[in-house]
Amino acid sequence: MSEPTETNTDEQQISEDDWAAAMGEQATSEAAASSAAQPAQIFEQLSGTSGKSEAPQGFDMIMDIPVALTVELGRTKISIRNLLQLAHGSVVELDGLAGEPMDVLVNGTLIAQGEVVVINEKFGIRLTDIITPQERIRKLNR
Say if 135 falls within a structural domain: yes
The reply to whether 68 and 29 lie within a common domain is no
Domain that holds residue 23: 1-33
Reference 105, options 68, 65, 62; nearest CA is 68
The reply to whether 22 and 78 lie within a common domain is no
- Alpha carbon distance 12, 14 (integer Å): 5
Say whether 137 sits in a helix, a strand or coil.
Answer: helix
Say if 101 falls within a structural domain: yes
- Alpha carbon distance 127, 23 (integer Å): 12
pLDDT at 57: 65
AA letter at 92: V
Decide: pTM greater than 0.75.
no
The reply to whether 68 and 27 lie within a common domain is no
The reply to whether 86 and 131 lie within a common domain is yes
Say if 80 falls within a structural domain: yes
The residues that bridge with 126 in the sheet, in sequence order, are: 115
The reply to whether 21 and 84 lie within a common domain is no
pLDDT at 86: 92
The reply to whether 67 and 27 lie within a common domain is no
Number of domains in the chain: 2
Digit-coded pLDDT (tens) for 42-58: 666 655 554 445 555 67
> Which residues of the chain have a pLDDT value below 50?
1-7, 50-52
Digit-coded pLDDT (tens) for 62-77: 888 898 998 888 889 9
The reply to whether 26 and 70 lie within a common domain is no
Say whether 105 sits in a helix, a strand or coil.
Answer: strand
pLDDT at 2: 47
Reference 96, options 113, 120, 79; nearest CA is 113
